[in-house]
Amino acid sequence: MASQGGWSLPYWGGPSWTPGFLLGCGGIVFKHRLFIFLAVVLCMGATVHANAAPGGKAEAGVTRMRLFVDPYQAAFYLLVPQGWRMEGGMRPSGVDWNKLDLVESNIGFRATSPDGGSRFGWFPRFYFIDPASYVRSSGGMLNPPVGGVMDGAWVYPPMGVEDFARHIVFRQFAPRELGQARLVGRFVEVPELRKLAPQVARQVQAGYVDFAFEEGGRPVRGRLYTTLFTLGDGSLWSNIGTAAWIAPAARVKEDSRLMEYAMRTFRLNPEWVKQATAAEIRRGEQMVRQTREMNEADRRWQAERLARSSDSQTEFYKVLTGQIETRDPETGKETWLPAYRHAFTDGRGNYAVTDNDAAASTLTQGTDWRPLEIINRNAR
């Protein structure tokens, strides 16, 4: 599954299919009122054409679709061609560091035609962090490598959809399946997909790119949709609605039309959205507390770091000027004296210093003289 620096998505992979599914109402059972909309779409808009039904019997003008409901949380549903194999659902993305998996898990599924040649699916969502932000905030002390992980986010600079496809989808999400894919043509903007980005998003790019590669010696075509957006100062960014389809080039026109239709029937369950929103609010409150604690810890660390730097400078100054700092253990009074190994006071403003250990041991016997502590700031 996933690991820092390179994982492959478990929802892609396989060899080639048999065309022949047409749109219609047969074989679909709706158990909830929220699915009535899909029934209306199917019954009134069945216009896709093909040659054979799954069982082999010709049914001109009809492709049977079935309703797929997320088996993990009933979080989403969509229509898929009868006989296509479904995998995945609303579940963790597969890496334990992904902060988007904390409460509501993540969407990751794929649908595969009976012979495996055509497939479509949805990739999980991640947060990404610009490595330059760590360099700036740490004064150059931190320089995390691209592709690493910091604070629950993948370390990558912000990028457009074309570079996202090349560097993230092809190389990280599905390297075994799409590692040799190349982009065909240029990025095409789809304004409707911009709605997927949250209202707080800053820069948004939404649309698709087409790609091609060979599978088993045969040319394959594909299309990748995604919405990318930045947050805050632009150093934090994310992907959402990252979906793709793949089909053999020999039948890409027929198969892509069917898969595009199925992908467009994707809907989130409103009841699940309410639950996930409430969970996100609770998580946000927890993150605020954690952030406050982290900021306080960072403030203390900075204060201690500055104190240590100041202490080192003070000790260096003592060496240069031949002085020591002393503290009276009874009164707490601190005094600078000439640099000797032993220092004493009689408590009346008088001081004595010596390097002679024997003299130091006898000075306090039967007298008012008491030893002073010699302060070493570097020992703190």
Task: List, as one string, the DSSP characters of 160-195.
Answer: -HHHHIIIIIIIIISHHHHTT-EEEEEEEE-GGGGG
pLDDT band at residue 265 under the 50/70/90 scheme: very high
* Neighbour order of strands in the sheet with 373-374: 334-338, 323-327, 373-374
pLDDT at 284: 63
pLDDT at 209: 98
pTM given for the model: 0.62
Alpha-carbon gap, residue 267 to 277, rounded angstroms: 16
- Chain centroid to CA 315: how far? 45
Give the model confidence (pLDDT) of 271-280 as tens digits. 988 887 787 6
Q: What does the pLDDT average to over 339-345? A: 90
Would you give the end-to-end CA distance of the chain in angstroms? 47
Q: 82, 81, 76: which is closest to 109 by C-alpha?
A: 76
Collect all residues with Cβ–Cβ distance below 8 Å to 283 and sequence separation of at least 6. 102, 103
Check the CA dihedral 143-148-154-158 and report its sign: positive
* Residue in the block written with tokens 């992979």: 13
Task: Give the DSSP H/E element, type plus range, for residue 317.
Answer: helix 270-321
Q: 245, 126, 174, 239: which is closest to 9 by C-alpha?
A: 174
pLDDT band at residue 360 under the 50/70/90 scheme: confident
Q: What does the pLDDT average to over 302-321? A: 69
Distances (CA, A) of 277 to 272, 281, 329, 334: 8, 6, 60, 59
Whether the pLDDT of residue 334 is over 80: the answer is yes
* Neighbour order of strands in the sheet with 370-371: 351-354, 342-345, 370-371
| Structure tokens that stand for 350 in this block | 């008088």
Q: What does the pLDDT average to over 85-112? A: 84
Q: What is the pLDDT of the chain when averaged over all its residues? A: 79
- Ordered by start, the domain boundaries in the chain are 85-268, 322-379
DSSP assignment letter at 108: E
Alpha-carbon gap, residue 152 to 96, rounded angstroms: 9
Task: Out of 58-67, 141-150, 236-245, 360-369, pick the least confident.
Answer: 58-67
Q: Which one has a higher pLDDT value, 100 or 177? A: 177
pLDDT band at residue 376 under the 50/70/90 scheme: confident
Task: Out of 178-192, 284-298, 331-345, pick the least confident.
Answer: 284-298
pLDDT band at residue 223 under the 50/70/90 scheme: very high
Alpha-carbon gap, residue 173 to 6, rounded angstroms: 8
- 8 A C-beta contact, residue 241 and residue 211: no
Task: Out of 258-267, 298-307, 323-332, pick the least confident.
Answer: 298-307
Collect all residues with Cβ–Cβ distance below 8 Å to 158 and sequence separation of at least 6. 128, 130, 203, 230, 234, 235, 237
Whether the pLDDT of residue 168 is over 90: the answer is yes
- 79 strand-pairing partners: 67
pLDDT band at residue 308 under the 50/70/90 scheme: low
- Domain range 85-268, its CATH number among 3.40.1350, 3.55.50, 3.40.1000, 2.20.110: 3.40.1000
Alpha-carbon gap, residue 268 to 161, rounded angstroms: 24
Collect all residues with Cβ–Cβ distance below 8 Å to 279 and sequence separation of at least 6. 103, 104
Whether the pLDDT of residue 152 is over 50: the answer is yes
- 8 A C-beta contact, residue 11 and residue 109: yes
Alpha-carbon gap, residue 239 to 128, rounded angstroms: 9
Q: 356, 353, 348: which is closest to 372 by C-alpha?
A: 353
Whether the pLDDT of residue 42 is over 80: the answer is no
Alpha-carbon gap, residue 272 to 280, rounded angstroms: 12
- 371 strand-pairing partners: 344
Whether the pLDDT of residue 181 is over 60: the answer is yes
